Amino acid sequence: MFANGFSSSPSNTPPPFDGANFPPIAIRDNVEACHRLLTRELGVRHLRAVVGFSMGAEQAFQWAVSHPDFVDAIVPYCGTATCYPHGVVRLESAISALTADPTKVAWALHWCAWVWSQEWWRRELFKPQFATVDDVIAARIATYAPRDPHNMIAQASMWQRHNVGDTPGFDGDHERALASIRARVLYMPSETDLYFPIGDAEYERQFLRDVTFAPIPSLWGHAAGAGANPADNDFLNDRIRRFV
């Protein structure tokens, strides 16, 4: 993924496109780069499935729109095909936190408030890994402290502007883009995701031709797809195994 610090990113691109001057990128740019890698470098001509979590789910939808004959199926989980207005506002608050506090403490607090559900916090499901709320926050701060804020802002902006309807030929119409998908879709939102609310997924499913809709029955919010909860992992693995 562009801007992740390993691929081309604000932190490793030479002037004049380094840091805040890094050019705006889109999810479809990542998909195009991956398509070129597969076809031109590795000789892969067809995919059985594209499976993706969060921004990877955005990529899965984009694959099916950009390359409809290249992939048989997609499995997006904890992510949608378009970033809707509430997501744009939330991400703007994250970008503001990073801009105001390069130490990323403000960003870590933002993350903690959004990545897990309210019920996850009430039941203190962070235990026994962490003893207190402060321990959770401290761990998040430590995780993000080494990361370049320009990379994080570039990724947030990429997420913020994502719309499969911006694919050439659809004139910004994400509903028409979703309706064009010929691949089978296993769509798995988290029932308690605050980043990608299940209502957004329920709205999108109506435009998909061949969709299996299987919400993840989890209290872990967006993190239901991140691998930390064994029950969520079992649900995902079982569904994906049967689907493909």
Residue 148 token pair: 């370049």
DSSP 38: I
Question: Which CATH code is given to the segment(s) 46-82+162-243?
Answer: 3.40.50.1820
Q: What mean pLDDT is predicted for residues 58-81?
A: 98
pLDDT score of 92 more than 90: yes
Tens digits of residue pLDDT in 132-171 = 999 999 999 999 999 999 999 999 999 999 999 999 999 9
What's the pLDDT at 77? 98
Domain ranges of the chain: 46-82+162-243
Tens digits of residue pLDDT in 53-68 = 999 999 999 999 999 9
Tens digits of residue pLDDT in 162-193 = 999 999 999 999 999 999 999 999 999 999 99
Cα-to-chain-centroid distance, residue 189: 11
- Which residues are known to be catalytic? 54, 193, 222
Q: What mean pLDDT is predicted for residues 219-243?
A: 98
Contact 190, 198 (CB under 8 A): yes
